[in-house]
Amino acid sequence: MKNIQIIDGAQNCVYDIFAATDKQFLLLFPRDTDIAFIDEIYAREDEKAVSAALTRMWTRPVRKSKAQGIHGILFYQLEEKKAYYPTRRDRDAVNPGGTRLR
């Protein structure tokens, strides 16, 4: 199982973490990525498969105090965040001008 943190644009977003199977994780985060945006996932994958994977994942919340790491971050809304993650890998995060964040 891999832990995915959910971040959305709502003012009351609480940054929940959910456990995903390896297969679900690969559907959401292909090719060595660990940052995803929900609109991009639905654009590249079968809508029914994505919805089914998310429905199952929502049944496996992980308490933050019990999480053994965060393996991926899934953004809802927050289009402006895409500029910070051009490779969709957290380790490659950049400022809008291209300078590294870390």
pLDDT, tens only, 46-91 = 999 999 999 999 999 999 999 999 999 999 999 999 999 999 999 9
Domain contains 52? yes
Domain assignment present for residue 48? The answer is: yes
Note if the pTM is more than 0.85.
yes
Range of the domain at 45: 2-92
Of 84, 59, 9, 13, residue with least CA distance to 39: 9
pLDDT of 27 > 90? The answer is yes
Domain count, the chain: 1
Q: Is residue 100 part of a domain?
A: no
| The pLDDT of residue 96 is above 90 | no
Confidence band for 40, pLDDT divided at 50, 70 and 90: very high
